[in-house]
Amino acid sequence: MARRQRPHQHLADLLAETRRIARRNKRKLGSHLLAEITALQGEAKNALASGDEARIARATAALESAASKHLEGLRRSFAREAFEMVLVALLLAVAVRLFVVEAFRIPSGSMVPTLLPGDVVLVDKSAYGVRLPGGTELLPGALPARGEVIVFENPAQAGEVMIKRVAGLPGDVITLVDERVHIGGLAQPRQLVAERFDYWNYRDELRYWHPQSGNLYLEELGGRRYATIHSRLLPRPRPGEGPFEVPAGHLFVLGDNRDDSADGRTDGGWYVPLAAVRGRASIVALSWGRGGLWPWGDEGLRFGRILRAVDGQVVQPGALPLHDAAASLRLALEEEGVAGPAAPPEPPAVAPAPAPERERQELRPSRPRPDALPASAPVEPAAEEAPAPAEAPAPSGAGSEQQRDGADGLAAA
């Protein structure tokens, strides 16, 4: 039985190979050779269907003769085919990376709480058109919108790639009052989420993790909501910043960690050319850092952040009002154990006012006069009265707050 299957299988393999070669080289073979080979392939197919060994042998011999005569130079070895497959795969990967999607790792905490150090984000490179490396535009695209997170080349340092949030478009005048975004003098919506939000920050140059906390807010800009964090150690209100007048063909960007971000406010203000934008951050593909799960070390895989959309934890406009969206985010963060409920501020302690001298004398215990004592009672000299200790003023509310801020600073260092 094995001997009968061998010529049958050989003819089947030869038929498949000649079809593949003929299909790839139609122009090189020409119509006459292609018709001859097609006829021999048809006969081989019929011979296989009949099962006649003699017919299979004749069809095999005829097809092998034609293949060696006309297709031998077109045959490719396994090594060549494997090399071509690898080359095509590499070219496809490069094309995808240049024009479709690219992965970036977040090295610092400038975009906390939206993006944490160690997040790997996928960037849609075709969101704003297709560009060659260097900024040459191949296909035009949409303009980045306010509130979107973009990846761009640092205009001040060649070769450095940054990720920030778009706060201003060409022609906008941006000011920040207590770190609240104003566009053209109009304050953008903002809502307090939690008085304290705890997170792990990372210094890439030192490879050092350290805990920090801040006030968590929910902002709305350009029809998009996102969370921002503000240091609890700095005095409020913050000094004003700006105005920043965005020139044509440029963007103004901010980090979500407003007190720990080198963005458009620094160095007197700077702007991102549209040609330097690489794409829009769309999804967190992977997350590795403090708070993750791993048997060894302090860092691990943060499963809850894998395949999470950027700003995916925030309820966007249209579903809930801003206040309700902030409450929903606070509940989710409380379940994760990284945020506490907003506590009412403590009333400041007030030092008691000193009493007038006359009232202080009336409050002292009176002494009996010697002439008012009975004759039988011996007169005792009056003991000298010790001076009353000075009353220490109670700490004011501002002092208590400074003490708390100092403790926070030591914990964060």
Pair of tokens at residue 283: 């999804």
Residue found under tokens 């549209």: 274
Single out the residue of 172, 165, 206, 200 nearest to residue 186, CA to CA: 172
- What is the maximum alpha-carbon separation in the chain? 159
Q: Is 222 exposed, middle or buried (0-12, 13-18, 19+ CB in 10 A)?
A: middle
| Catalytically annotated residue among 110, 213, 261, 287 | 110
**SS3 for 130?**
strand
DSSP 73: G
- Is residue 110 annotated as part of the catalytic site, yes or no? yes
List beta partners, residue 123.
Answer: 102, 281
**Alpha helices, DSSP H only, in 51-77?**
53-66
164 included as an active-site residue: yes
Comparing CA positions, the residue from 216, 218, 103, 110 lying closest to residue 163 is: 110
Give the type of residue at 223.
Answer: G
**First-residue to last-residue Cα distance in the chain:** 81
Backbone angles phi, psi at 23, to 5 degrees: -65, -35
Q: Rounded distance, CA 96 to CA 83, Å?
A: 20
Reading phi first (left if > 0) and then psi (alpha if -120 to 50, else beta), residue 249 is in left
Place of tokens 């080289």: 25
Beta carbons within 8 Å of 262's beta carbon, 6+ residues apart: 110, 255
Q: Which position among 108, 125, 164, 261 bears the catalytic label?
A: 164
User: Catalytic residue positions?
Assistant: 110, 164
